[in-house]
Every structure is written in C-alpha cells, then in structure tokens.
C-alpha cells in the first residue's frame, strides 16, 4: 500500500524548530487491521474481483490501495454480480443483507469488527428480555444502520444528544436498555448515559464499555498532548466518526485542530508562529499516512519529534473461519 504520494513544496516559512508531539496510540486498530486483511486474503484465495459492500474502512488511501489489488466497492448487493465473493465492511450490516446474499447464493465474508458484533449480540439479548433499546449514536452512520438493522423496526430508538433523551416517551420506562455506537466521544456519551439514568433509573446498560478500546485510547492520547500544543492535526477521513471525535476532543481543550487525509492537505499557514504541533490519526488511518504528513510538515519547518505514549495496545482479532490458512 505504499503508493507514490504528492508532497508539500519545501517552502521555508519559519526557521525556528517546531516541536511535534505524536500521540500513541494512533492509527489502525485491531478491527481495521482484521478487515483489511480479510479483503487481501479473499483476493488471494478467490482472485480478482472481490466485491466489498461499502468502504471496508473509512479511509480513501486504504480503499484505493485495495481497488488497485482488485477489490470493487459498492453500496448495495444489487451491484454485485452472481458468482463472485462479497465482503461486508467492518462497520456491520443489517440482518437483511446476509439474508439477501444467501437468497442469491452469494459467497460472503463478514468483516464486521468483533466489538461491533458484540453490540449486536447485546441488542438481541435485550430484545429477547422484552426491553426496548435506546441506542446512542449518529444517525446514518453505517455502524448505526447495521446495529438498528439487527432487530425488527421499532425495537430500538436512536438518540444523539442529551436533548434527545429529554424528548423520549417510552411505552414502559421500567423495561429499557441502552447501547452505544463504538466510535463516539467518550465524554459526550457519558453525559447522555447520565441523562438516561437520571430520567429512567431502571434502565439497563451493558456490563462493559461499548465504546471500543481504540476509540477511548485515541481520545485519551489527544487529551494528554492537546494542552501542550498550539495546534493539532488529525489524520483521517471526513466520514470517519472516530477521527472527527479526535478533532472535537482537541478543540474542547482549547487547541485548534484540523482533519487531513494526506500530506498535501497540510496548509503551511497552520505552521506559522507556533512552537508545538500535535499529531494523531484515526483508527482507519495507516501509519504510512502519519509519516507522509510529518514529512510534509518537515518540508515547511525544521521539526523535532516526540512520541507521547499513553497506552499500549496488543489486541488481535481472529480471522473468519476458512481464511486463517489462506
């Protein structure tokens, strides 16, 4: 995936040394690693083309790299011809999608992140227990669409804010559960959960945190460096929920932050008259893009890098049965 990339012209705007604090953890999480590997192994096993329903992860560089290997990305199974394999993205899909694939006799591989699948199972258990589910998430996000699609219409109600909680009018306030999207702001979600528990003291919640370890860790890493930075750059896609949340975390701490996808997105004006710059990357952004952005910065000003480690990650998820030995 090391395709050539454009770089920022080497125009010296400030000769003073710029300190660059690089957050760790950053970039790829175990679910993203697994999803990309699934597509790569499917291409090795079945040959091109392999179809992928929706972007396997929200990163244009990753998607374009997999396209170059023979992956074809579509938004609907109707766009998948008969007789070719199809991969479902890491965000998860409604139950109607694999059901439709089976009806057509399509071979499919589910690359849903195991932590998203865990939320799906929790939703099923709550529904079987007769509870109505309040789901905290962002409307229209693929993970939310997939989770809501695990149960019949009307079994879940989506809330996005504390104000949404105030407007809830459940049929039975004693039979409620809540679950959350895995890539939310930890702080925002805490406030929404507190509002739910205040309004509905009997509401049941998951035993563990639904927001995934990678999302939480990356937000904590930003909190650890933002106060030391004059500005922050977050590497990620504009449709990446966890990347957008990193920008919000920095800005709430009073540090201006910019979302970029590639090195050429860095505006040299951002580097004027600052002493310290923070850098992090969303969970769908590969490390090669982190280095690309740092190189673009170094082309404008001399830099001194410092990696700030706030957590160690060693999570690895198993591949789907049948691909392990591909």
Domain segments of the chain: what residues? 18-28+213-309, 30-110, 114-199
The tens digit of pLDDT for each residue in 63-88 reads: 999 999 999 999 999 999 999 999 99
Question: How many CB atoms are closer than 10 A to CB 207?
Answer: 6
Alpha-carbon span 254 to 46, nearest angstrom: 50
Q: Which strand ranges, in their side-by-side order, compose the sheet holding 86-88?
A: 71-74, 50-53, 86-88, 108-110
Burial of 323 (0-12, 13-18, 19+ CB in 10 A): middle
Cα–Cα nearest to 120, from 159, 148, 87: 148
- Using 50, 70 and 90 to split pLDDT, how confident is the model at 59? very high
Cα–Cα nearest to 263, from 283, 239, 279: 279
Mean pLDDT of the chain: 94
The domain 114-199 is placed in CATH, from the list 3.10.20.600, 3.40.1010.20, 3.30.70.1520, 1.10.340.30, at 3.40.1010.20
Show the beta-strand stretches assigned E in the chain.
Answer: 18-24, 50-53, 71-74, 86-88, 108-110, 132-136, 156-159, 176-180, 231-235, 257-260, 276-281, 303-309
Find the mean pLDDT for residues 174-184: 97
pLDDT at 15 (0 to 100): 80
Alpha-carbon span 43 to 313, nearest angstrom: 28
Q: What is the CA radius of gyration of the chain?
A: 21
Whether residue 7 is predicted with pLDDT greater than 60 in this model: the reply is: no
Question: How many CB atoms are closer than 10 A to CB 104?
Answer: 14
**Cα–Cα distances in angstroms (integers) from residue 94 to residues 34, 67, 82, 155, 268, in the given order:** 20, 24, 21, 14, 43
Whether residue 37 is predicted with pLDDT greater than 90 in this model: the reply is: yes
Find the mean pLDDT for residues 259-275: 97
Alpha-carbon span 114 to 124, nearest angstrom: 15
Whether residue 39 is predicted with pLDDT greater than 50 in this model: the reply is: yes
Buried b (16+ CB within 10 A) or exposed e, 178-206: bbbbbbbbeebbeebbebbeeebeebebb
pLDDT at 321 (0 to 100): 82
* DSSP per-residue codes, 83-116: TS-EEE-TT---THHHHHHHHHT--EEE---HHH
Catalogue the active-site residues: 143
The domain 30-110 is placed in CATH, from the list 3.20.20.80, 3.40.50.150, 3.40.50.2000, 3.40.50.11270, at 3.40.50.11270
Whether residue 14 is predicted with pLDDT greater than 80 in this model: the reply is: no
User: Residue 12 gets which letter from DSSP?
Assistant: -
Query: What topology does CATH give the domain 18-28+213-309?
Result: Cobalt-precorrin-4 Transmethylase; domain 1 (3.40.1010)
The tens digit of pLDDT for each residue in 130-158 reads: 999 999 999 999 999 999 999 999 999 99
CA 281 from centre of chain: 11
Whether residue 3 is predicted with pLDDT greater than 90 in this model: the reply is: no
- Using 50, 70 and 90 to split pLDDT, how confident is the model at 324? low
Cα–Cα nearest to 217, from 287, 143, 310: 310
User: Residue 182 gets which letter from DSSP?
Assistant: T
Whether residue 11 is predicted with pLDDT greater than 60 in this model: the reply is: no
Domain 18-28+213-309 and domain 30-110 have a common topology:
no
Find the mean pLDDT for residues 190-219: 93
Question: How many CB atoms are closer than 10 A to CB 75?
Answer: 10
CA 202 from centre of chain: 31
Whether residue 110 is predicted with pLDDT greater than 90 in this model: the reply is: yes
Find the mean pLDDT for residues 175-179: 98
């Amino acid at each position: 995936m090391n395709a050539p990339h454009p770089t920022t012209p080497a125009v010296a705007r400030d000769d003073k040394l710029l300190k660059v604090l690089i957050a760790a953890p950053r970039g790829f999480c175990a679910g993203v690693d697994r999803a990309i590997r699934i597509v790569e192994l499917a291409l090795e096993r079945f040959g091109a083309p392999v179809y992928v329903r929706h972007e396997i992860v929200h990163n244009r560089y990753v998607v374009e790299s997999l396209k170059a290997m023979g992956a074809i990305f579509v938004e609907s199974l109707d766009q998948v011809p008969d007789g070719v394999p199809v991969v479902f993205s890491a965000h998860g899909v409604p139950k109607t999608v694999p059901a439709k694939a089976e009806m057509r006799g399509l071979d499919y591989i589910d690359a849903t992140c195991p932590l998203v699948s865990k939320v799906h199972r929790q939703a099923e258990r709550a529904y079987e227990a007769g509870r109505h589910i309040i789901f905290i998430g962002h409307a229209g996000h693929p993970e939310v669409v997939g989770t809501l699609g695990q149960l019949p219409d009307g079994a879940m109600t989506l809330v996005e804010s504390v104000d949404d909680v105030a407007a809830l009018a459940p049929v039975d306030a004693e039979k409620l559960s809540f679950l959350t999207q895995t890539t939310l702001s930890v702080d925002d979600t805490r406030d929404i959960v507190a509002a739910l528990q205040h309004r509905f003291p009997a509401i049941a919640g998951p035993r563990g945190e639904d927001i995934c370890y990678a999302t939480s860790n990356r937000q904590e890493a930003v909190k650890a460096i933002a106060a030391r930075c004059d500005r922050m750059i977050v590497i990620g896609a504009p449709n990446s929920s966890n990347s957008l949340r990193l920008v919000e975390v920095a800005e709430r701490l009073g540090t201006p932050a910019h979302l970029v996808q590639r090195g050429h997105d860095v505006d040299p004006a951002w580097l004027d008259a600052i002493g310290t710059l923070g850098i992090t990357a969303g969970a769908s952004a590969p490390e090669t893009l982190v280095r690309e952005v740092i190189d673009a910065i170094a082309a404008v000003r001399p830099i001194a890098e410092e990696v700030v480690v706030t957590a160690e990650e060693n999570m690895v998820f198993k591949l789907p049965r049948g691909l392990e030995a591909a």
